Amino acid sequence: MRRTLSFALLISLTLATTIYANTYTVSTNSELSEVYTANMDTGILTINWGNETKVFSDMVGHTGQASRTLVPFNGGPALSYENSGSNTHFEVFYTLTLREKVPFIDCVYGNIRNGQNGVSIRKAVCNLQKPLSSNYQDLIFTYSDNWIEASNTVSLQSVMTEPSEAADAPLGQLGEVYVALRYDSVEELMSATPKTIATVGAKNHEVTIGNAYLVYEADGITPLALDIETDPATHSLKRLTPTELLLAVEAD
């Protein structure tokens, strides 16, 4: 029997509601010992290091069902953008670095859910070195439009039937390894909790049941690594190079 539940409705029902504090502070352990502070009421982001201070307006806050916040990410600061009001759900992290007293966005990590078929898209772009500005959230769209278009062709109907069959949503290729998100059940589809699978020939390796991001160079085309989230609270990451991922597959 075919399940005829609406993807748009079910996606909206499974999105969690988050309550935010007014002020966030994230510190780094770099030589500059930067301290980033964001005020959700005023929208101001303040960066302090040594005797230096920089203040940026219109950087955080809520607009409808979209929010921009300051969060810890993999041992450093990041700005996050989340939009649960659109058909396609966006959760994006923009990692911050200081170079010659100027803040830059180094990487963008996107955890996106296609509103058409429910497919998750977990990809990142690094080595960007984009100067920080108040419209930083738009940087993801340089890449995500193509990612979403490619994911529109993925069919997950096999997990919606009874008995269900596993379905894979390709992420991309890293060296000799093909990386995909595998849905074993309709519950995994509706909760957006697929497994990340690495494949070489007939050999499969389950990388993680959590988030993992296929990372590209700044051109958005050249694969760089696979970043595996080891702690969802701090978004700590473990990076696997193409060689390390290949060895993991061959070891199974």
CB 159 within 8 A of CB 127: no
What is the tens place of the pLDDT at every residue in 55-78? 999 999 998 889 999 999 999 999
Task: With a cut of 90, say whether residue 31 has pLDDT above it.
Answer: no
Provide mean pLDDT across the span 165-178. Answer: 95
What is the tens place of the pLDDT at every residue in 11-29? 332 333 333 457 768 777 6
Provide mean pLDDT across the span 95-105. Answer: 92
Taking the C-alpha atoms of residue 239 and residue 228, their distance in angstroms, rounded to an integer, is: 6
Q: What's the confidence (pLDDT) of residue 2?
A: 35
Greater confidence (7 vs 184) lies with 184
Q: What's the confidence (pLDDT) of residue 78?
A: 96
Q: Which of 227, 199, 232 is nearest to 215 (CA)?
A: 227
Task: With a cut of 90, say whether residue 200 has pLDDT above it.
Answer: yes
For residue 50, name the pLDDT band (cuts at 50, 70, 90).
Answer: confident
Q: What's the confidence (pLDDT) of residue 32?
A: 61
For residue 4, name the pLDDT band (cuts at 50, 70, 90).
Answer: very low
Q: What's the confidence (pLDDT) of residue 11?
A: 31
Q: What's the confidence (pLDDT) of residue 14?
A: 33
Helix (H, G, I), strand (E, B) or coil at 28: coil
Spell out the long-range contacts of 159-165 with Cβ–Cβ below 8 A and sequence spacing 24 or more: 159/183, 159/184, 159/185, 159/186, 159/188, 159/189, 160/2, 160/3, 160/5, 160/186, 160/189, 161/1, 161/2, 161/3, 162/1, 162/3
Greater confidence (49 vs 141) lies with 141
Q: Above pLDDT 70, what percent of the chain?
A: 89
Greater confidence (16 vs 79) lies with 79
Greater confidence (84 vs 102) lies with 102
Task: With a cut of 90, say whether residue 235 has pLDDT above it.
Answer: yes
CA atoms in the 13 A half-sphere facing the CB of 249: 22
Provide mean pLDDT across the span 218-234. Answer: 96
For residue 1, name the pLDDT band (cuts at 50, 70, 90).
Answer: very low
Domain ranges of the chain: 7-150, 158-210+233-251
